[in-house]
Chains A and B, each alone.
Chain A
Amino acid sequence: MVISPVHYIVAPLLAAFAIPLLTKLYKDAARVVPGIVLFYNVIISFVLMQQVSQTGMISEVLAGWRPPWGINLVLTPFTAFLATMISVLGFIIWLYGFRFKRTLKGGVVKHYEILQMMMVAGSIGVIITGDLFNMFVFIEIVGITAYSLTAFYRERNGAEAGFKYLLIGSLASTFLLLAILIIYTQTGTLNMAQIAERMAFVPHTMKVTALIFFLIALGIEAEMFPLNAWAPDAYEQAPSPTSATFAAVVSIAGVYALVRVLFTLFDVSGVHNYLIVMGFVTMLVAEITAIAQKNLKRMLAYSSIGQVGLVLIAFGIGSKLAVFGAIFLMLNHAVIKSLLFMTGSYFIYNADDKRLIGLNGMHKQLPYVSALFSLAAFAIVGFPPFSGFWSKFYILISASDQKMMYLIIGILLVTIIELVYYLRAVGRIYFAKEEMEDVAHRPSVNALVAMSLLALFIIVVGVYPDIVTGYLNDAASALLDKAHYIQQILGSK
């Protein structure tokens, strides 16, 4: 059987439609089948990424209508890399949550697993599609799953967070649809390569209006300030595997959509400076708010927003090295932040006090989890020899290449803020004196394996970054080479 990008979507869809039937035959099917599907996605990711790096871009035609008439799926080195990253993390998060809620009866586990799997599949769809409206459909899929998973717990304030997320998310969808509508009336096509080609003929006012609508809509998805009010609540109230997925998968897809629209579709000058400014404000506000947080998951949520801000800054700088750093940071953010959410949730699970004070003296009860949490905390701040160091390092170098000294000072200052609150959390775990009873919930084997895999990645990439830099380099050139993208898709007429 020939492997093609459409498998990314078809396999999870088949599983999602079949799970309600399969659970009737085999009780645990709802928990096992998503793992098989996500693992299959990991395998095809590596096969396809190999294929892309050897033979170049893959553009798969759907329904037999070649682009621009039909919908196409595109794997460039950039999208193939992100799809691989999301597939791997989706599988690891599934592994972490394998025993999640297994004691609950009825359809709860089934619903949870279907939604979780489709959230990952939808995010992959956002990344691999070459069609603007198709991207909208996949953003809807991610949105619907994210709203319902946020409201999953009845006993918490999940409903409020979910409803807030639903309202803001629907606003984003509306603006996105309006923007697509404007683009379609002007270019007569929905294929992203052809839109990019015809964008030069669009009147300036139309272009700017569409651009602003895209920025609002995708800014909400990418958690850009001031459109990210939904994010902390959603991260806090969702089940922990879902919070990890928000950070590692959904925010990455949001940033990708924003970057694809700005870099490929539009040719408006000034957008890059806008990204730098908004990225910096996002980062500054989020990190300062993170210091004031009393709840661990909320603190991590604000830290996630801060990281996304830094990614936007790096994309805004726009040089090849900066884009390289930005993609590297997306990878690091996805891996490290999911490890932080995974380990953090065990602290919250075991603490009597759900606030940060509850972390006091945790290292005696959960030594391994504490070590992993500290490792991740140091990695995300950017200590060598962890992987987080390299991404920040490259972004700073690229900023200094562009003579943006104030930006460098700003990023370093924000890093100090970041350092303060992460060290505070780590300090509580190791040095605060607190008498505690024995822990009730030790991590299960599958969760330990999942967390260890992520930690291993952080250390290996930190010591030997060359295993990913080759792919990152190709990814950065692929994103910046717009003419090649257009020619590869439309040239295959």
Chain B
Amino acid sequence: MKKYIIFILIAILGLTLAQTFKAIPFGADRRGDLENPDKVAAYYLKESPETLQTANSITAIVVNFRGFDTLGEVTVLFLAATGLASILYRKEEEDEEEVERVRLPSSSLVRTGAKILFPLMLLLGIYVFVHGHLTPGGGFQGGAIIATGFLLMLITYKHFETNHKVMVWLESLAGLAFVAVGLYGLFAYGSFLQNTHSVGTLNDLISGGLIPLIYIFIGIKVGTELTNILDILLKIKKS
């Protein structure tokens, strides 16, 4: 009986959603007037290349127009890592038993491949977040790629350890640097996270003012945080 009620409720919800979203003309051009924008999307498309000199307008939105949201999202990730650590990882309390992370040894094919791929993945991650304002991708994506590289090493090698001290320092300093850039805007131009006025020229590597700088900090922070989360999750002891 309960199952049928749930099914009916979900069906009603689905119908309502379908009806609502059917009325939204997806894919149609609804940006409105691009010269004198009254919708934020049109305004962002106009201002990203003109005022910010940023080729990737999504980056301009994420890091500048709505940079405060991004700071919030970085914080969400940071708090998720902290929360996981508080729930799962209490090494000091328990006996210092060696935690088995990998049960079966990897084949030599995997081990050799991982060794070659690892530096390349790090390089790709760094490339993605350094070029976040020019090409698709950015801090979050680059950070995720870096963390994937570490994951590969963590599950391939039994004794691969991330340098915990360096990770903590990098993570904290990157977060502090992001806030510090925001405060620079507050003190220099009177608005938190405000971009500098010298933004360079469109499509240059050094353009967009503070946008690439912030994305590099985000990349480092996301990369170290995700690696920490993976490290914690892989070290859960079976009880």
A interface residues, Cβ below 8 angstroms from B: 4, 6, 10, 13-14, 16-18, 20-21, 60-65, 68-71, 104-108, 111-112, 114-115, 118, 125, 133-134, 137-138, 140-141, 144-145, 147-149, 151-152, 154, 159, 162, 178, 182, 185, 188-190, 203, 205-206, 209, 212
Cross-chain pairs A/B with CB under 8 angstroms, 21 sampled:
A4-B186, A6-B186, A10-B182, A13-B179, A20-B172, A21-B173, A62-B192, A63-B64, A63-B195, A64-B185, A69-B47, A107-B85, A118-B75, A125-B72, A133-B69, A138-B72, A140-B76, A144-B76, A152-B87, A182-B24, A188-B38
Q: A62-B193, A144-B83 are in contact. Are A13 and B71 (CB under 8 A)?
A: yes
User: Which residues of the other chain, B, contact A69 by a CB distance below 8 angstroms?
Assistant: 40, 43-44, 47, 65
CB distance from A47 to the nearest CB of B (A): 17
- Beyond A64-B189, A209-B16, 15 additional contacts (C-beta under 8 Å) are A10-B182, A16-B78, A62-B68, A62-B193, A71-B66, A71-B68, A104-B93, A140-B73, A140-B76, A144-B76, A144-B80, A145-B79, A147-B83, A148-B79, A151-B87
**Contact residue among B66, B87, B191, B193 (Cβ-Cβ distance under 8 Å from A148):** B87
B19: CB under 8 A from chain A?
yes
Measured CA separation A70–B189 after assembly (Å): 15
Residues of B within 8 A of A6 (CB): 186, 192
Measured between C-beta atoms, what is the minimum distance from B78 to chain A in Å? 7
A114 touches B82 (CB 8 A): yes
User: Does any Cβ of A come within 8 Å of B39's Cβ?
Assistant: yes
> Cβ of B3 < 8 Å from any Cβ of A?
no
Is the C-beta of B90 less than 8 angstroms from some C-beta in chain A?
yes
Asked if residues A10 and B172 are in contact (CB atoms below 8 Å), the reply is: no
A209 neighbours in B (Cβ, 8 Å): 16-17, 19-20
Q: Tell me if B79 and A105 are in contact (CB < 8 A).
A: no
Most buried by B among A70, A149, A162, A205: A70
B86 interface contact, C-beta 8 A: yes
A136: min CB distance to chain B, Å: 9
Nearest-neighbor residue (CB-CB) of A186 within chain B: B24
Residues of chain B contacted by A148 (CB below 8 angstroms): 79-80, 82-84, 86-87
For the complex, is B238 an interface residue (Cβ under 8 Å from A)? no
Q: How far is the CA of A64 from the CA of B91 in the complex (A)?
A: 45
Closest to A11 in B: B179
Distance between A216 CB and nearest chain B CB, rounded to angstroms:
10
The complex places the Cα of A382 from the Cα of B71 at a distance, in Å, of 43
Classify the secondary structure of A's interface with B: helix
Q: Are the CB atoms of A137 and B73 closer together than 8 Å?
A: yes
- Among residues of A, the one whose C-beta sits closest to the C-beta of B72 is A137
Q: A62-B192, A140-B76, A147-B83 are in contact. Are A189 and B68 (CB under 8 A)?
A: no
> B236 within 8 Å of A by Cβ?
no
Minimal Cβ-Cβ distance residue in B for A158: B87
B131 CB, nearest partner CB in chain A, Å: 22
Residues of B within 8 A of A144 (CB): 76, 79-80, 83
Binary flags per residue of B55-78, CB closer than 8 Å to A gives 1, else 0: 000000000111111011101101
Neighbour of A134 across the interface among B19, B43, B72, B176, CB < 8 A:
B72
A14 with B176: in contact, given A114-B82, A115-B83, A137-B69 (CB under 8 Å)? yes
**Nearest chain B residue, comparing its CB with the CB of A21:** B172
**Known interface pairs A17-B172, A205-B19, A206-B23. Does A152 touch B67 (Cβ–Cβ under 8 Å)?**
no
Chain B residues proximal to chain A, CB less than 8 Å: 16-17, 19-20, 23-24, 30, 32, 38-41, 43-44, 47, 64-69, 71-73, 75-76, 78-80, 82-87, 89-93, 168-169, 171-173, 175-176, 179, 182-183, 185-186, 189, 191-195
Closest to B86 in A: A111
Nearest chain B residue, comparing its CB with the CB of A189: B40
- Among B78, B87, B93, B193, which residue has its beta carbon within 8 angstroms of that of A63? B193
B41 touches A70 (CB 8 A): no
Q: Which residues of A contact B84 (CB under 8 A)?
A: 148
Q: Across the interface, do A108 and B82 meet the contact criterion of CB distance under 8 Å? A: no
In the assembled complex, the Cα of A21 lies from the Cα of B170 at a distance in Å of 10
| Structural contact, A21 and B93, CB atoms closer than 8 A | no
Taking a contact as CB atoms under 8 Å apart, the answer to whether A106 and B92 are in contact is yes
Whether A141 and B79, one on each chain, are in contact in the complex, defined by CB atoms closer than 8 angstroms, is yes
Give the residues in chain A near B193, CB-CB below 8 Å. Answer: 62-64
Top 10 nearest A-B pairs by Cβ distance? A148-B83, A188-B39, A106-B92, A17-B175, A111-B86, A137-B72, A64-B194, A63-B193, A64-B191, A209-B20
**What's the Cα separation between A373 and B48 when bound, in Å?**
58
Q: How far is the CA of A169 from the CA of B141 in the complex (A)?
A: 26
- CB nearest to B85 among chain A residues: A111
* Minimal beta-carbon separation of A13 from chain B (angstroms): 6
Asked whether A63 lies within 8 Å of B194 as measured between CB atoms, the reply is: yes
Give the complex CA separation of A477 and B7 in angstroms: 45
A115 to B68, CA, bound (A): 20
Looking at A63, A112, A118, A140, the one whose CB has the most chain B CB atoms below 10 A away is: A63
- A205 engages B83 (CB within 8 Å): no
Bound-state CA distance A29–B30 (Å) is: 52
The reply to whether B19 and A185 contact each other, CB–CB distance below 8 Å, is no
Choose among A64, A69, A134, A212 the residue with the greatest number of B CB atoms under 10 Å from its CB.
Answer: A64
Q: Give, as a whole number of angstroms, the nearest-CB distance from B226 to chain A.
A: 15
CB closest chain-B residue, reference A152: B86
* Alpha-carbon distance A112/B87, docked complex (angstroms): 10
* Chain B residues in 8 Å Cβ range of A16: 75, 78-79, 175
Return chain A residues, CB-CB under 8 Å to B17: 178, 209
Tell me the minimal C-beta distance from A228 to chain B in angstroms: 18
Q: Which residues of A contact B93 (CB under 8 A)?
A: 104-106, 108
Pair A140/B72 contact, Cβ less than 8 Å: yes
How many Å from the CB of A60 to the closest CB on chain B?
A: 8
Q: Which residues of B contact A134 (CB under 8 A)?
A: 66, 68-69, 72
Determine how close the nearest CB of chain B comes to the CB of A283; give it in whole angstroms. Answer: 25
What residue in chain A is nearest B26 (Cβ atoms)? A185
Inter-chain CA distance A68–B92, complex, in Å, is 50
- B79–A115 CB distance below 8 A: yes
B67 vs chain A, min Cβ distance (A): 5
Asked if B71 contacts A63 (CB within 8 A), the reply is: no
- Bound-state CA distance A178–B16 (Å) is 12
- Name the one of A62, A133, A205 contacting B23, with C-beta atoms under 8 angstroms: A205
Contact A188 B30 (CB under 8 A): yes
Taking a contact as CB atoms under 8 Å apart, the answer to whether B182 and A70 are in contact is no
Give bound CA distance, A203 to B22, whole Å.
13
Residues from chain A with a CB closer than 8 A to the CB of B43 are 69
Interface pair A18/B191, CB less than 8 Å apart: no
CA distance A209 to B17 in the complex (A): 8
Cα-based distance from A209 to B38 in the complex (angstroms): 24
CB atoms of A145 and B83 under 8 A apart: yes
